[in-house]
């Protein structure tokens, strides 16, 4: 009986932590089938959302068909507007990349596109990974 209260408290604490840090996963890519990734979303003390994007097994953008220059990370917000979060540059043996970004609105969908240059204002290239089902 004495163990029930600490276990229940621990479970409640774990649920609270998981509610504060939802994790989104990218769906399988038809463009780069080996590519995988996750996004951790947290709300900070200023009521902003911090996003930590982690991907691996990304082919170099120049090796895509057609060849591209870079990968960009975007998010759709509640009002369906799209915001560019930043650039991914896969490197190393497992072609990993990460990005940390801050947004005022909660992300509804996060996606990665292959683009001709980093300065594009709206996604125009092929979608490589997305959290949308």
Q: Which whole number is the average pLDDT over 72-77?
A: 96
What the chain holds in terms of domains, given with CATH numbers, is 22-130 (2.60.40)
Residue 95 pLDDT: 97
Mean pLDDT over 22-43 rounds to: 94
Cα separations in angstroms, 112 against 3, 15, 67: 46, 29, 15
pLDDT 10s digits, 91-130: 999 999 999 999 999 999 999 999 999 999 999 999 999 9
Q: What is the mean pLDDT of the chain?
A: 88
């Amino acid at each position: 009986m004495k163990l029930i209260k600490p276990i229940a408290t621990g479970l409640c604490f774990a649920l609270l932590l998981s509610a504060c840090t939802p994790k989104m996963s990218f769906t399988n890519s038809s463009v780069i089938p080996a590519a995988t990734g996750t996004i951790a979303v947290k709300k900070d003390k200023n009521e902003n959302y911090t996003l930590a994007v982690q991907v691996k097994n990304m082919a170099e953008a120049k090796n895509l068909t057609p060849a591209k220059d870079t990968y960009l990370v975007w998010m759709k917000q509640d009002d369906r507007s799209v915001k560019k979060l930043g650039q991914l540059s896969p490197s190393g043996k497992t072609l990993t990349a990460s990005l940390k970004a801050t947004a005022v609105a909660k992300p509804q969908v996060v996606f990665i596109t292959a683009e001709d240059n980093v300065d594009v204002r709206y996604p125009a290239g092929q979608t490589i990974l997305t959290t949308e089902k």
